[in-house]
Chain A
């Protein structure tokens, strides 16, 4: 994960400014539109800009913003290819679920414990795992996420499942007139928190230490960075934020089981989002999460604007969507290996010469 920075030239700066303004406009609209579903707004005669479907998609997008940005702290900044962050999502979800459903805690108290549990688990496994590098760390973290999901589903005590077993865990429905609105803003707040923390990390001594580890771990250690402590802290921070998203998801979705809070494909999706957007940058993972999640929803036909794909019968559509996603993955990796943010913001990345240089650098 080296050499991802480049200073933008003037054309690049103009593009960057245009995209920032566009992004801000879209963001303001996305954040304000749900308010039109309030009774007060409706009685004032405002048009309804957000329906149930919109809330669902927007909340999922915000959830992936949290996950991709949180992954960015360990994967993008520290350079450790964590492939098992979904474990922390699941642990956060189950912690919140157990506290709310079994111990009858209020939601917001449970939401403070969920990240702590995920972070504690990350610190625990991080000490041995973060001694591994490269593929070994990636595979080991992937293994942990598979194993944790299996243990949570199957753990029994006195032949009674501890965490609800294979039938999953039901949470009491959160009573509020504006449930959809509440969970949307909760997830957006988690996203803002994640971006805020990343912003702080990027400017702190801690963040410089992480980047030093990414660029050259031995050199960082020689310079006096306590590499073990830094890596474990970054892993735990990433886990805490992912766990927070999991906790919110648990109460929002009301029902959790191994399949919906430990899906292996989330591991891949959050990494892909961060990489497409630009790993190691502040807004890259955010842009990647929004763009890719919209695309995934569009391809699977969940968006209201979805058009029919040509030559594709309706029943084969989800499968074709997956093929397109795979092709996109391949094309992205081969042609834009530095992420889209860099693509738009750096030196003129639209040029053929850039593409050729990038391919020359990575190919044999």
Chain B
């Protein structure tokens, strides 16, 4: 039973990262109807900004998170306003391929700048943690979970309680009606993507604390963000939080299966994904659209 509790704690901690990665991805998908294949690459950009600030200026990694968010917000705004807005009404394959092209560019520019070496962010407190029985919970992972939940709460507040957020939701619900009531579509689209990218930046900062990063380290996160968003359901921040934590739990429990549980991580994740899609396409608590 102690083992079970241990796995639950580990699963929730792993889920924190997935929540952070998932919320931005889910926002862009839900509102813009774009599956952003460059999301993982943007996450890793955030990771490199944190790494750069930490190694060059010895800034505390958690203090770099707002900087990650601001830089990626600007980058996201430019990408959407300059490029994606031009094909947003084209069939979905085109936005798929477009974001894949952006993914390719971002990853390879990172490769040119930072090379493919593993980089890790190791502040003085990275080794220490709380001991609960036999289990040691690193402070960084605990803080990462807290930051992820705060990020999700902040995003939910922004979307549901501010004029900007309501405009974003209106655009997501009905583009033409939103335009009729005077919402600037181009700006709102760009803003939505920018907020999604900012979330990705924060997620990247957190990830750089947890694992060593390379320019290609973001690719699995794009795929996992899919699963997380679909698991919870599209269209709500709370659904993504649920999906992310659940995905973390499933991953940790699957890896604890004796034998070859760990090598089937992707197969389990995607098996689950297909199952959810076929049985309950709206996700656990999502809205069908």
Contact = CB atoms under 8 A, between A and B. Distances in A.
Contact of A325 (B35, B94, B104): B104
Interface residues of B, number: 50
Interface in B129-180: 175
Contact of B112 (A139, A320, A333, A334): A320
Interface stretch (A150-158, A169-177, A284-292): A150-158
B92 A81 contact: yes
The listed residue with most B CB atoms (<10 A of its CB), out of A143, A327, A334, A359, is A143
A337 B274 contact: no
Interface in A64-96: 75, 81, 83
Given A132-B278, A334-B86, A337-B94, A138 B103 contact: no
A135 B87 contact: no
Interface string B94-115: 1111101111110111011000
B102 A326 contact: yes
A144 B35 CA distance: 17
A128 B108 CA distance: 37
A362 B87 contact: yes
A132 B277 contact: yes
Contacts of A131: 278
B268 to A, nearest CB: 8
A322 B111 CA distance: 11
Interface string A342-364: 00000000000000000101111
B266 interface: yes
A268 B97 contact: yes
A144 B274 contact: yes
Contacts of A364: 85, 88-89, 175, 185-186, 189
Contact of B277 (A140, A322, A326, A329): A140
A188 interface: no
Interface in A8-53: none
B115 to A, nearest CB: 10
B271 A330 contact: no
Interface in B74-99: 83, 85-98
A362 to B, nearest CB: 4
Contacts of B274: 128-129, 140, 143-144
Nearest to B116: A319
B3 interface: no
A248 interface: no
B281 interface: yes
A323 B104 contact: yes
B223 A327 contact: no
A138 B230 CA distance: 13
A334 B278 contact: no
B175 to A, nearest CB: 8
A147 interface: yes
Given A138-B96, A362-B87, A319 B230 contact: no
Given A268-B100, A330-B83, A334-B86, A143 B273 contact: yes
A180 to B, nearest CB: 32
A275 interface: yes
Contacts of A6: none
A363 B101 CA distance: 18
Interface in A133-166: 134-136, 138-140, 142-144, 146-147, 150-151, 153-154, 156
B108 A329 contact: no
B96 A363 contact: no
The listed residue with most A CB atoms (<10 A of its CB), out of B104, B185, B186, is B104
A272 interface: yes
Interface in B26-44: 29, 33, 35
Classify chain A's interface size. Answer: 35 or more
B101 A330 contact: yes
A334 B79 CA distance: 13
A305 interface: no
Contacts of A140: 273-274, 277
A143 B224 CA distance: 10
A102 B226 CA distance: 38
B288 to A, nearest CB: 11
A325 B185 CA distance: 30
Given A147-B270, A364-B185, A136 B277 contact: yes
A75 B92 CA distance: 12
A328 B105 CA distance: 10
Nearest to A143: B270
Nearest to A131: B278
Interface string B213-242: 000000000010011001000000000000
Nearest to B190: A364
Interface string B269-284: 1110110011001000
Contacts of A143: 223, 226-227, 269-270, 273-274
Contact of B87 (A138, A325, A328, A333): A333
B263 interface: yes
A271 B93 contact: yes
Contacts of B271: 147
Contact of B90 (A75, A146, A156, A362): A362
18 contacts: A81-B92, A81-B93, A128-B274, A132-B281, A139-B226, A139-B230, A139-B277, A150-B266, A151-B267, A272-B97, A275-B93, A275-B97, A322-B108, A333-B87, A333-B95, A334-B87, A359-B86, A364-B185
Going nearest first, the 9 A-B pairs with the smallest beta carbon separation are A329-B101, A326-B104, A143-B270, A326-B105, A147-B267, A362-B90, A322-B108, A363-B86, A330-B101
Given A75-B93, A154-B264, A329-B101, 16 more contacts: A2-B91, A83-B96, A134-B92, A136-B230, A142-B223, A143-B274, A146-B223, A275-B97, A320-B108, A329-B104, A330-B105, A333-B98, A334-B98, A361-B89, A362-B87, A363-B88
